[in-house]
Structure 1
Amino acid sequence: MPTVAPVDLDDHCLAVTFLGEVPTFAMASGLVVRLDHGTHRHELHDGLLTATPSWNGKALISGGEDGKVMQLDADGTETELRGPARKWVSAVAPGPQNAVAFSEGKNVTVLLADKTERHFEEARTVEGLAFAPKGLRIAMARYNGVSLAFVNGNAPALDFEWKGAHNQVLFSPDGRFLVTAMQENALHGWKLDGKPGGEQRHMRMTGYPAKVKSLSWSSKGKWLASSGAPSAIVWPFSGKDGPMGKAPLELGQRADTMVTCVAFHPIEDLVAIGFGDGMVLAVRIADSKEALLRRPGQGPISALAWNKPGRLLAFGSQAGDCGVVDIAG
């Protein structure tokens, strides 16, 4: 039976991760809490807007209303990657070779490991960022699509157009697909392995009753799980055309509450699903078998993250009731 170690942080939890083996909770106030043989508190921002683990999983990269971009290492070392500024940092993304990207309004900055910077400007506000899994290419989600730019060199950005507001962007782990979450209760995708100059291949994933705020790829990229419905909507991406012409799986369906967060297990085809009433389930892809990891709590689940071996699951909620589940008990 799974065991839960609760942590009450009394604040909206925006992100959770494991820095090595250290559960780390990033709160909307700007507080980041590490559970490392005791509770360690780091006041990183005056208002946190975005936080994500680094490419190697050993640090947390965050941006805030104060314009700062911060890095917090597993041992508690705080590094200011960019000092206070007038504009809010609304998205951050870690990249290979220790690159970090952040956006403020229409502008995107990529900080490289050798301290050089690359700057990109879009016509509209950049809402989401992601690095390609291979090579330093950065995707910038904006109104009416995504721009895909090479960090090095002066090649013009590739534009992937689709009408509407795109506020999150992800590459598939194999780099073959680009997927966005939209304002319009939908996902949109593009195939990236077409011929140069050929027609763009679109993937429309619609039918959600609410906005998709959480997305997670399975470890090998065969599946993409999403929130925004009474069950986790899991799209198949194993074929050459991704989910086109195929129905998604609907896992963990409940009649009275919505899925608010999803996180695929790092090794197995198993997805953790957080709900609007604070419940957390684990559901296996192969047979839809469910395991209750946490009973309903005070607020909607807003963040989920597995540790690397996949034995521990950290969770956070909008009400600040957070914790760590040991699925082996």
Structure 2
Amino acid sequence: MPTVAPIDLDDHCLATAFLGEVPAFALASGQVVRLDHGTQRHELHDGLLAATTTWDNQSLITGGEDGKVMRLGADGTQTVLREPARKWVSAVAAGPQGAVAFTEGRVATVMLADGTQQRSFEEARTIEGLAFAPKGMRLAMARYNGVSLAFVNGNAPAVDFEWKGAHNQVMFHPDGRFLVTAMQENALHGWKLDGKPGSEQRHMRMTGYPAKVKSLSWSNRGKWLASSGAPSAIVWPFSGKDGPMGKAPKELGQRADTMVTCVACHPVEDLVAIGFGDGMVLAVRIADSKEALLRRPGKGPITAMTWNKPGRLLAFGSQAGDCGVVDIAG
């Protein structure tokens, strides 16, 4: 049976992470809590807005209402990447070779690992989401009416992927073949990226959600894309060359009385952790929909979940601050 080690942090948990093997919980107040031989608290921001883990899983990158961009290492080392500024940092992304990107309003800035080279990109409307491509130094910027895809090095103009509406999250398929956004309306949108240069863009519309999609997660090889925004986890097939076009999604962990608020695919197995509006967490196998209860309902909706690299531990956090770590091996 899975065992749960709870921790009550009394604040909205925006993000969870494993920094090395150390669980970390990023809170809306600007504090990040590490469970490393006791509870270690780090006051990083005056109001936290965004957090992401670096590609090597050794650091957490955060942005906040104070305009700062911070790095918190697995050993608790705090580094200021960008000093306080007037504009909020509303999105952050970690990239290859230690690169970091952050947004403030209509401008996205890329910092390389040594902090010396910066490149800024300006859009006509506010940039809501950021993602680095899995290969090559390319940055996707989600905005109103689509996504801009820019090369960080060189002066080539950004490539625009247009679709009407507000796009507030963006992510690449793990092998770089697709680009997917979550929209302000209750939908996802995607584009194929492996078409010939100059050919017509191929779109993927993923609609029918009763609520806005706030959580997305790729399965370990990108075969599936799990999403929140419905009474079950909506899991789209991406194994074919055309992704989910013309295919129906799977619906996993359906419950009649509450919505799925967070999803996190296992790093090794084809299964997904599903967090609900009442605080319950289920693990569901994608192939046959077999369910295992990981956590009973709690105080508030699950807002963040992360597996550790081997996939034995799951860190979770809720809107009410009741957080914890599940050991699925008991």
TM bucket, shorter chain: over 0.9
User: What stretches of structure 1 of length at least 5 have no aligned partner?
Assistant: none
> 1:102-121 counterparts in 2 under 5 A?
102-114=102-114, 115-121=116-122
For residues 31 and 210 of structure 2, the distance between their equivalents in structure 1, rounded to whole angstroms, comes to 32
- Give the equivalent residue in structure 1 for 2:87: 87
Give the aligned partner of residue 278 of structure 1: 279
Q: Kindly state the Cα deviation for residue 113 of structure 1 after the two structures are TM-superposed.
A: 1.9
Where does 1:289-328 land on structure 2 (aligned, <5 Å)?
289-328=290-329
Distance in 2 (CA, whole Å) between partners of 1:142 and 1:35 is: 36
Deviations 1:75-130 (A, max 9, x none): 00000000000000000000001100000000000001232100100000000000
Q: Say yes or no: does 1:72 pair with 2:69.
A: no
Distance across 1 between alignment mates of 2:86 and 2:113: 25
Deviations 1:135-188 (A, max 9, x none): 100000000000000000000000000000000000000000000000000000
Following superposition of structure 1 onto structure 2, how do residues 166-315 of structure 1 map, counting pairs within 5 Å?
A: 166-315=167-316
d(CA) in 2 for partners of 1:50, 1:168: 12
Secondary structure of 2:240's counterpart equals: coil
Alpha-carbon deviation of 1:277?
Answer: 0.1
Following the alignment from structure 1 to structure 2, what is the Cα–Cα distance between the partners of residues 20 and 86? Answer: 33
The aligned amino acid for 1:153 is: G
**Aligned equivalents of 1:257, 1:38: Cα separation in 2:** 34
Cα offset for 1:223? Answer: 0.3
Tell me how far apart the structure 1 counterparts of residues 186 and 328 of structure 2 sit (CA, whole Å): 32
Which residue of structure 2 lines up, in the alignment, with residue 96 of structure 1?
Answer: 96
Inter-partner Cα distance in structure 1 for 2:57 and 2:167: 26
4+ runs deviating over 4 angstroms = none
Q: SS of the residue aligned with 2:323?
A: strand
Question: What TM-score do the two structures reach when normalised by structure 2?
Answer: 0.99
Matched, 1:27 2:30: no
- What is the CA distance between 1:254 and its match in structure 2? 0.1
| Residue 55 of structure 1: how far off its partner (Å) | 1.4
Name the aligned partner's letter for residue 55 of structure 1: W
- Alpha-carbon displacement from aligned partner over 1:43-62 (angstroms, at most 9, x marks no partner): 00000000010111110000
| Partner SS, residue 113 of structure 1 | coil
CA RMSD of the aligned region, Å?
Answer: 0.4
Task: Supply the distance in 2 between the matched residues of 1:209 and 1:192 (Cα, whole angstroms).
Answer: 28
Structure 2: segments with no counterpart, 5+ residues: none
Q: Distance in 1 between matches of 2:172 and 2:58?
A: 21
For 1:48, the equivalent position in structure 2 comes to 48
What secondary structure sits across from 1:97 in the alignment?
A: helix
Residue type matched to 2:48 in 1?
L
Whole-angstrom CA distance in 2 between matches of 1:260 and 1:14? 12
Q: Which residue of 1 aligns with 2:152?
A: 151
- 1:319 Cα deviation from its structure 2 partner: 0.1
Opposite residue 7 of structure 2, the aligned amino acid is V
Q: Secondary structure at the match of 1:142?
A: strand
Partner of 1:163: 164
Query: For residues 203-236 of structure 1, what are the alpha-carbon distances to aligned partners after superposition, in whole Å with 9 as ceiling and x for unaligned?
Result: 0000000000000000100000000000000000
**TM-superposed deviation, 1:258:** 0.1
Q: Which residue identity is paired with 2:149?
A: L
**TM, length-normalised to structure 1:** 1.00
Aligned residue identity for 1:274: G
For 2:97, what is the secondary structure of its paired residue?
Answer: helix
Offset from partner CA, 1:9-48 (integer Å, 9 cap, x none): 0000000010010000000000100000100000000000
- Give how far 1:286 is off: 1.1
What pairs up with 1:115-130 in 2 under 5 angstroms?
115-130=116-131
Q: Deviations over 1:239-282 (max 9, x none)?
A: 01000000000000000000000000000001000000000000
The SS at the match of 2:300 is: coil
Which segment drifts farther, 51-60 or 275-284? 51-60
Report sequence identity in percent. 86
